[in-house]
Amino acid sequence: MNIETTTCIAHENLKLLQDYADVYKLSLHTFIINFINYVMSYKKIPVKSCKRLTYRKRYESWKRVHLYLYENEYEFLMDARKVYKMSIAKVISYCIENYLFDFLAALDSEDNTDNYRFSGYTFMFYLENGIQCCRFYWGPHPELVKYAMQ
């Protein structure tokens, strides 16, 4: 893990995340990354383009949490922040409020054999009709894997 960052999590949410991380024998960092990745992969989050970033409510009681991330995990969180126009603290809070029990059900399912939920991060720059574009993949895209093998 090469990048250290901090975020703030409500005390009750932090306890909830830590308790479930313990149940599934995962570090808090791994649980949070897998949880956000699950939500981004399987659930719809409203996207607001051309809007400013939104932040968590200021009046709640929060605890600063240090996260030690791999480079691809950090880039993934920065993309989530950029695309969904929410601070990481708010992304975590949103995921807990809306999808925690869905994620836990997915972890408990019998066909849950994936030990590496966050499997990759890739991006590709290209021109389309003279416009510079960037495509992000929050997992290994088969075409990119084939292109990389050439």
Which three-class secondary structure state does DSSP give residue 83? helix
Q: Please give the pLDDT value at position 120.
A: 65
Give the predicted TM-score (pTM) of the model: 0.78
Q: What are the extents of the domains in the chain? A: 3-113, 120-150
- Write out pLDDT tens, residues 29-49: 999 998 998 888 877 777 777
Q: Name the band, by pLDDT with cuts 50, 70 and 90, for residue 144.
A: low
Q: Within its chain, how far is the Cα of 119 from the centroid?
A: 12
pLDDT digits (tens, 9 = 90+) for 8-24: 999 999 999 999 999 99
What local confidence, expressed as pLDDT, does residue 2 receive?
86
Pick the closest to residue 117 from 54, 81, 73, 78 (CA basis).
Answer: 73
- CA distance between the termini of the chain: 29
pLDDT at position 53: 84
Is 73:33 a contact under the CB 8 Å cutoff?
yes
Token duo for residue 28: 């808090």
More confident residue, 136 or 67: 67
